[in-house]
Chains A and B, each alone.
Chain A
Amino acid sequence: MTVTEVHIDEMMTPYPDKVRKNRKKHIIIKSAESAACPQIEANTRTIPGIISQRGCAYAGCKGVVIGPIKDMVTITHGPIGCGYYSWGTRRNKARSDDRTPPEKIYTNLCVSTDMQESDIVFGGEKKLAKMIDEVVAIFSPRGINICATCPIGLIGDDMGAVAKEAEERHGIPVIAYNCEGYKGVSQSAGHHIANNNLMERIIGSGTDPRTEEFVIYLLGEYNIGGDGWEIERMLTDIGYTVNCILTGDSSYEEIKDLHFADLNLVQCHRSINYIAEMMKTKYGTPWLKVNFIGVNATIQTLRDMATCFNNPELTRMTEVVIERELARITPALEKFRKICNGKTAFAYVGGSRSHHYQYLLRDLGMEVIVAGYEFAHRDDYEGRDVIPTIKTDADSKNIPELHLTPDEALYQEAHLHLGLSKEQYDTIAAQVPLGDYEGMYPIMRVGRIMVDDVNHYEAEEMIRQLKPDLVFSGVRDKYISHKMGVPSKQLHSYDYSGPYAGFNGAVIFARDVADALVTPAWKLITPPWEEKNGNRSDSDA
């Protein structure tokens, strides 16, 4: 079914005029395959009273970017709820390795200052300071993060000063993130704040250069369900040194060496592009937009990476691994593909996944008819080319931009990081997405919809109108579609499954999707006494 303006107008009838006008700017129907992406409104304020799927800056900073750093203890400075709610909800996995022993892993902890009324009145600085001392005494972590919640900004606690004093007392980094939930318009603000602090405080503090070959860092991969490990497996087989998955399964110990990277890979563009760009400015490190979700997408990415390094052995091994993996997974994938082929889906997730998963779904013969991000910016839809034209508003101005200059000792031109000549580099940059991201628009087909910050109500109406076979979303809207008889899969936490990345992940994903599509319960909705002749709903159609 092709979507028209009429559908959209119909959906928006109950909105007050102003809301309708506002929301229309967040929705784009692709009209002609070749046309450039029309401007979409994104990263603007959520409408009060209209249930958005967005979270807060604190959620983006603590929950997404900072929380997974495994050898640091992250303290939530605020009342109890915020900390509780961000406890273990992301399924970012971590394990010990030669640099981080098991007793130095704190990702399962949830530590909060649990502010009480008197702290709100008299300030929470003393409590915070005492708490840092306790955390050091109990856990002796390599570093401590402190994340602010809404009331902190209001009562004016000087977290920075408390952190600085604690740092002097204990001799470990104590980093304060002013990520009060009301900053910006969504968790995206929190990503930016986290990126800034990581860049200023941790990246670049390591002093022992890496001596391995082809050292890469995988930025914006959170290792949900072990995705990062599956990617690491392939890359290691090919011959890369994956120094760190940032921030899923990352450690302070690894992040401080980030500036020794030959190449940064960017998986989730939205949450981590700031670090990638800042490192390019400060150290000259090139970054490559990658996508390890989908078989063909993974192959493309592996080949792009090989192109970047332009090394015959690496290129050969890339093809060897691709061939080996394809031979291994194709039969299993085919089995599930038969079930998935021709089915349609919605994808409403995060700031990258709704784009990435379209590749994997195409591998399975499925098509996404409505795709949307919760907290993306225009460049995630339209591509990085539009960045200079994005207007800053009151909300984005509140997030500080770091103005970095090249590091005198460590900066070197991008091509030198890759061991290439300037000419070689330029030729390659024209072939692969080095320092570039094209956004979601190009993959959308004509008559399909892109929708920004889709809300509860719109999601529901679109499911009603367009009747997809499957809805990919977060858990918050999962059960609306269930109630409407449409199966749904969570793409934030994978419904406790995964990994979904790379070759092995594709098979697991295909299995889960096929399972969802054939769930027998959906065929048993009508009881036998209500079935009309010849209209059996429980047939194996």
Chain B
Amino acid sequence: MEVMTSDHQVRSVNEDQCQMCMPLGGVIAFKGIEETMVLIHGSQGCSTYMRLSNVEHYHEPVDIASTALNEKQTIHGGEANLRKALDNVIRVYNPSVIGILTTCLTETMGEDLDLMISAYKHDRNLQGVDIIPVPTPSYSASHTEGFWSATRRIIEHYARATAETSGINIIIPHISPADIREIKRIIDLFGIEYTLIPDYSMTMDRPFGGNYQKIPPGGTVPADIARMPGAQATIQFGLTCPEQLSPGEFLRRKYNVPLFSLPLPIGLKNTDRFISVLSELSGRPVPEVLLLERGWLLDGMADAHKYNAEGRPLIYGEPELVYALCTLCAENGATPLVVASGTKTGNLETLLSPILPDACEKTIFLEGTDFAAIDQAVEDQRVNVAVGHSGGRFLTERRGIPVLRIGFPIHDRIGGQRIRSAGYAGTLSFLDRFTNALLEMKYGSYRQHCLEETRGKGGY
């Protein structure tokens, strides 16, 4: 990848990457569909690594099967392994859906999955199991695009022209299970029916329940996905989602479902937009409890502003979350000075520029970047607080900059799946964390200053 560093040098080395690979995003999307197993077509290493990354973040069992190709199959093709793998997955897991994701290896081999699957279904006379293949070559995109691609393919697979329903569609980017639950709670308050996809809020964050099941209950129901074309509208939190991967765009083009492309409801203004659309679509006034929550948030924002203005944030991670967090920080007086993503959307700067205040300092935007470039920008911009996933932990080690963990992956702290930042209430919990990080720093160095003053500079 050609990486633009802040001094605009072009480098070919990717040093300490900021993104993960495409099938990983696909796995998470499939985990949000009811009764689904995921199978990765490639060597076993990819699936083992992806399980590791997911498990370290979600702290849940994450079953991902592999077709386990060896050297021989790289020459003779992977069909026999694919068939064996399907047999075994069906016998052991008894799933209703099998999502198959390709890897760089099988994409390079040029495996024709559609053909192999239809032959398999025919030979086995397969009933009651839907097999959905998604091409996910990591050399062309990151886990973010993998997530969107898989979500769109799942919808394409099930969607049927249906009679109009009274419900709406909600399409989410890769966010925490806690945020999914918060979004669902808010919609429920309006009493509208909806289909949220992909809903991994109960499959990737299971409450302890004693009885362990191989495929955890929960997830979007395929029959509901089939009816998505009949919905009143689609709300998609996907400003940064490329059009050709956009599930909401697909429903709009093919079935004329009106599309509301909204930012994630993180931050006051973003949440306002979501609530307005919900109110409009449901024809109901905003429920009292949300007004209270909005009030608490406003109150908190007013309290915190005097501290937040001292924040010089770096915000990095998956583009959709980065966008929302940038607006949140900006509306609290902490203008983001470095905005970065390992994913290349190409539109973060265009989207964000209008909402960033005309400050004298210019924000640096880095897309498709790595942490070496981020680190350089952090130094140039004198960043003092970072917001993003665990990949940035070196900023604390090397530069003493606190990293407010949010997004994926969070493997060096617990509770990544439980971080709630959506809605007014979620925004307020994030804001408090943000402000307190600045306060902690302030008091930390304040004590240091006092010490230096009483002792005289340089100590006794």
A residues whose Cβ falls under 8 Å from a Cβ of B: 14-16, 19, 45-59, 78-87, 89, 108-117, 119-120, 127, 130-131, 134-135, 138, 149-151, 153-155, 180-187, 394-395, 398, 456-457, 460, 475-480, 483-485, 525
Contact = CB atoms under 8 A, between A and B. Distances in A.
B139 A79 contact: yes
Nearest to A190: B45
A204 B132 CA distance: 53
B137 interface: yes
11 contacts: A48-B81, A79-B138, A111-B13, A119-B139, A120-B104, A120-B108, A150-B104, A150-B105, A185-B70, A457-B214, A483-B208
B408 to A, nearest CB: 12
Given A395-B70, A480-B61, A81 B206 contact: no
A281 B50 CA distance: 40
Contact of B53 (A85, A108, A119, A182): A85
Contact of B12 (A80, A85, A130): A130
A181 B105 contact: yes
B48 A56 contact: yes
Given A83-B14, A138-B15, A479-B61, 7 more contacts: A45-B70, A51-B63, A117-B137, A120-B139, A150-B43, A187-B45, A475-B55
Contacts of A180: 71
Contacts of B64: 51
B19 interface: yes
Contact of B84 (A47, A55, A149, A181): A47
Contact of A127 (B12, B23, B82, B210): B12
Contact of A86 (B44, B49, B63, B208): B49
B14 A114 contact: yes
Nearest to A127: B12
Nearest to A128: B12
Interface string B65-83: 1111111111000000110
A518 B51 CA distance: 28
Contacts of B105: 150-151, 154, 181-182
B20 interface: yes
Contacts of B65: 48-51
B442 interface: no
Interface string B350-379: 000000000000000000000000000000
Interface of B: 1, 11-17, 19-24, 39, 42-53, 55-56, 59-74, 81-82, 84-89, 91-92, 103-105, 107-109, 137-140, 142, 206, 208, 210, 212, 214, 394
Contact of A135 (B13, B45, B91): B13
Contacts of B109: 154
A81 B53 CA distance: 11
A273 to B, nearest CB: 22
B82 to A, nearest CB: 7
Contacts of A457: 92, 214
Contacts of A135: 13
B82 A395 contact: no
B55 A476 contact: yes
Nearest to A56: B45
A181 B43 contact: yes
Contact of B86 (A49, A110, A111): A49
B44 A16 contact: no
Contacts of B23: 81
B88 A477 contact: no
Contacts of A127: 12
A373 B77 CA distance: 29
Contacts of A185: 70
B298 to A, nearest CB: 38
A154 B45 contact: no
A485 B139 contact: no
Given A55-B44, A79-B104, A181-B43, A48 B68 contact: yes
Nearest to A464: B212
Nearest 7 interchain pairs by C-beta? A56-B45, A81-B21, A49-B85, A49-B88, A85-B49, A48-B85, A114-B14
A87 B52 CA distance: 12
Contact of A117 (B69, B74, B140): B140
A61 B45 CA distance: 12
A394 B72 contact: yes
Most A Cβ at <10 Å: residue of B67, B74, B92, B103: B92
Nearest to B65: A49
A469 to B, nearest CB: 17
Contacts of B55: 475-476, 478-479
A114 B17 contact: yes
Contacts of B20: 80-81, 84-85
B92 A80 contact: no
B87 A108 contact: no
A154 B69 CA distance: 13
A480 B206 CA distance: 11
B88 A50 contact: yes
B140 A479 contact: no
A84 B71 contact: no
Contacts of A56: 43-46, 48
A95 to B, nearest CB: 14
Contacts of A395: 70-71
Contacts of B86: 49
A47 B85 CA distance: 8
Nearest to B371: A110
A485 B209 CA distance: 9
B215 to A, nearest CB: 12
Contacts of A184: 70
Nearest to A398: B71
A480 B212 contact: yes
Contacts of B61: 456, 477, 479-480, 483
A112 B14 contact: yes
Contacts of A81: 20-24, 46, 49-50, 104, 138
B24 A483 contact: no
B92 A475 contact: no
A196 to B, nearest CB: 17
